[in-house]
Amino acid sequence: MSELDRKSAFVVDTYPMSLEERITALAFQGLVNRAGARLFRKAKFWNWPAADEFWMEYLESKKGFLFAETPTIQDMVAKFDGVVGGLVVWDAEITQSRWAAANLAALSDLLPVSPESAELYPGLPVIEDLRGRFASDIECARWSASELLPQCNPMMGFSIENTWSGCTIDSLDWAVQNKAFIYCLSHGGDKKDETELMHEVLSRIGPCAPIFGWGEPEEHYCRSISAHDNYVMCAEAPNLSFWTHVTCERTSWTQRARKHPSEFKLEDKHYVALCTSEGDTPKMAVSVQGGAWQDPNRGQIAVNWGMNPLHLKWFPALLEFYWDSATENDYFMGGASGAGYTYPNQMPNPEQWMRQTGEYFAKADMHETDAWMHFSRPVYELYAKVSGMRAFSMPCGPYGATLVSDSCVVFLRGNSGLNYFENSAPPSELAAQIRKNAEMRGRLSFSVAHLVPDSRLSRESQSGWNPTLFLEVQELLGEGFKIVTIQELAELAIIALREGKIMDCQSPDYSEWDDARTDQPVGLR
């Protein structure tokens, strides 16, 4: 590729910055990147800190980018003169004014800054000054919802939360770029005023809209968003405003690992699908599956990698990387709960979201997904019918499998000990749990292990699992066990259930363990 063909972009390192500085930098990145992939940031994101350099090398070698470093926010603003027309200054005493400032920045092309930083931009006039305007945080939040929300994108929201990993602003650039309403409100607990305002905000976004960012507690957060027929896009992911403009050449999304169902033969075995979690999140795609995708033994064992096909809508070049580099053992399945994380049982009108799932899964040649939280037969019968999904995997019980149509199976892993199995455990412990379950169930059986992907090479990460560790698990399990794609697991489980070779876990006389303690042949239990 000649130098003339290369795309120029700047890079800024936000890792050493304070939270206040990062709010300013990310908001500016979102504004700059409205015109294209112009500003990339080094975040050293905890999920895999090496991802910044990995992606820069990839973007240079495969996509023709030429990166130049820019050391400070002031340098960025100077290089992109004219992107912002002035400053919006938040009130240091009112935390909510930071997010009001971010919304004003998105709506009016302003740079949001702290009071002490305003003097760093002598060439930019103060257009909006939020100092002294609000007596309390809730007053500011109400003003933002009343005055700014109606001007924002009605089909996208962005939730800020303070978690163990810090303030969830890593995708603030994406929110600003898209004029998503940015809020920081309680989704559960004793802050009644905040919770009421949160529901008012969510009622005015969507329906079937993504709420990027994050909220805690997770169950309250997802339940609140589901109740308004919207869905979660857990987005502690850097550079989404950049990725949305990266060119994608791929037009066919056929999975390399998919096979014709006739290739699968039902045997007297314990079938196990090793599935990576967090597949609904942009952060896992941006972090290269926590570095696990770069494992030297990837391709040597069947791994079901969680992926959200909605990335085709916003970040197709991200999916292109995975589809281009996948082997015949790298299978893609959906994360909770399909095309976006929601609780289908809690959605008043889920059909639009279910249709969206069917549309994007079909585009990506994906047919199975994890789904949360609780199983309801009428809901999942409808979901299977509307979306055309072939299988759902769920964290609830009883441990087993059930059909919701002639062509769709639900795997329930509750009580299996395999849901979010301990991230830092040795392979021997995972193998022991799988074997323990098998001994109590007898052959034939079908199991899903839900595991966080990680290289285990970074002290900053949450740790997790990768193909090298999975190979050790496979060796420890030995004969009688088969590690498979979830496609094979689903196709064979459907046959086994149809033919009565395993009992439907929703049958009145089903027992998770007791009926499996016999030595009777397959088909007689």
How buried is 510 (Cβ within 10 angstroms: 0-12 exposed, 13-18 middle, 19+ buried)?
middle
Query: Shortest CA distance to 290 belongs to which of 10, 494, 483, 50?
Result: 50
Per-residue pLDDT at 523 exceeds 70: no
* Angle ∠(466,467,471) on CA atoms, nearest 5: 125
Percentage of residues of the chain with pLDDT beyond 90: 90
How buried is 164 (Cβ within 10 angstroms: 0-12 exposed, 13-18 middle, 19+ buried)?
exposed
Per-residue pLDDT at 5 exceeds 60: no
Q: What is the spatial distance between Cα 294 and Cα 372, in angstroms, rounded to a whole number?
A: 28
pLDDT value of residue 524: 25
Bridge partner list, 392:
369, 410
Q: What is the spatial distance between Cα 493 and Cα 445, in angstroms, rounded to a whole number?
A: 8
Q: What is the spatial distance between Cα 332 and Cα 243, in angstroms, rounded to a whole number?
A: 20
Confidence of residue 1 (pLDDT cuts 50, 70, 90): very low
What are the tokens at 195?
């919770």
Residue 464 in contact with residue 453, Cβ under 8 Å?
yes
What is the dihedral angle through the alpha carbons of 418, 419, 422, 426, rounded to the nearest 10 degrees?
30
**How far apart, in Å, are the Cα atoms of 203 and each of 173, 250, 315?**
24, 37, 27
Lowest-confidence region among 115-119, 416-420, 463-467, 510-514? 510-514
Per-residue pLDDT at 230 exceeds 50: yes
With b meaning 16 or more CB within 10 Å and e meaning fewer, what string describes 251-287? eebebebbeeeeebeeeebbbbbbbbbbbbbbbbbbb
Per-residue pLDDT at 518 exceeds 70: no
User: Residue 115 contacts by C-beta under 8 Å, 6 or more apart in sequence?
Assistant: 89, 90, 91, 92, 131
The average pLDDT across 304-328 equals 98
pLDDT value of residue 271: 98
Please state whether 474 falls in left (phi above 0), alpha (psi between -120 and 50) or beta. Answer: alpha
Residue 375 in contact with residue 384, Cβ under 8 Å?
no
From first CA to last CA, the distance across the chain in angstroms is 63
Confidence of residue 163 (pLDDT cuts 50, 70, 90): confident
pLDDT value of residue 520: 34
Confidence of residue 47 (pLDDT cuts 50, 70, 90): confident
**How far apart, in Å, are the Cα atoms of 172 and each of 102, 158, 177, 206, 308?**
9, 8, 8, 19, 20
Give the residue carrying structure tokens 């589901």.
226
The average pLDDT across 422-450 equals 94
Type and span of the H or E element at 106: helix 96-108
Type and span of the H or E element at 318: helix 316-325
The average pLDDT across 153-162 equals 97
pLDDT by residue (tens digit) across 172-192? 999 999 999 999 999 988 899
Per-residue pLDDT at 224 exceeds 60: yes
A 10 A CB-CB count for 106 gives 28
A 10 A CB-CB count for 459 gives 8
pLDDT value of residue 236: 85
User: Residue 202 contacts by C-beta under 8 Å, 6 or more apart in sequence?
Assistant: 157, 211, 224, 225, 227, 228, 230
pLDDT by residue (tens digit) across 14-37? 999 999 999 999 999 999 999 999
Per-residue pLDDT at 142 exceeds 60: yes
Mean pLDDT for the chain overall: 94
pLDDT by residue (tens digit) across 49-60? 999 999 999 999
Per-residue pLDDT at 344 exceeds 70: yes
The average pLDDT across 348-352 equals 98
The average pLDDT across 396-405 equals 95
Per-residue pLDDT at 522 exceeds 80: no
Per-residue pLDDT at 3 exceeds 80: no
The average pLDDT across 56-81 equals 96
DSSP state of 432: H
Per-residue pLDDT at 521 exceeds 60: no
Peptide bond just before 398 cis, omega within 30 deg: yes
Q: What is the spatial distance between Cα 169 and Cα 236, in angstroms, rounded to a whole number?
A: 7
Q: Which domains does the chain have, with CATH numbers?
A: 3-243 (no CATH), 261-516 (3.20.20.490)
DSSP code per residue over 319-361? HHHHHHH--TTEEEEB-TTSSSB--GGG-SSTHHHHHHHHHHH
What are the tokens at 467?
């193909």
Q: What is the spatial distance between Cα 213 and Cα 221, in angstroms, rounded to a whole number?
A: 11
Q: What is the spatial distance between Cα 43 and Cα 51, in angstroms, rounded to a whole number?
A: 9
How buried is 119 (Cβ within 10 angstroms: 0-12 exposed, 13-18 middle, 19+ buried)?
exposed
Give the residue carrying structure tokens 């930098």.
25
Query: Shortest CA distance to 303 belongs to which of 137, 138, 450?
Result: 450
Query: Shortest CA distance to 181 belongs to which of 147, 208, 223?
Result: 147
What are the tokens at 212?
């990027």
CA atoms within 13 A on the CB side of 262: 0
Helix and strand numbers, DSSP H then E, in the chain:
17, 21
Q: What is the spatial distance between Cα 239 and Cα 96, in angstroms, rounded to a whole number?
A: 24
pLDDT value of residue 6: 65
pLDDT value of residue 514: 52
pLDDT by residue (tens digit) across 471-501? 999 999 999 999 999 999 999 999 999 999 9
Distance of CA 127 to the CA centre of its chain: 36
Q: What is the spatial distance between Cα 187 and Cα 218, in angstroms, rounded to a whole number?
A: 9
Per-residue pLDDT at 420 exceeds 90: yes
pTM for the model stands at 0.95
User: Among 130-134, 160-164, 279-283, which range has the highest average pLDDT?
Assistant: 130-134
Output 45 or 308, whichever has higher pLDDT.
308
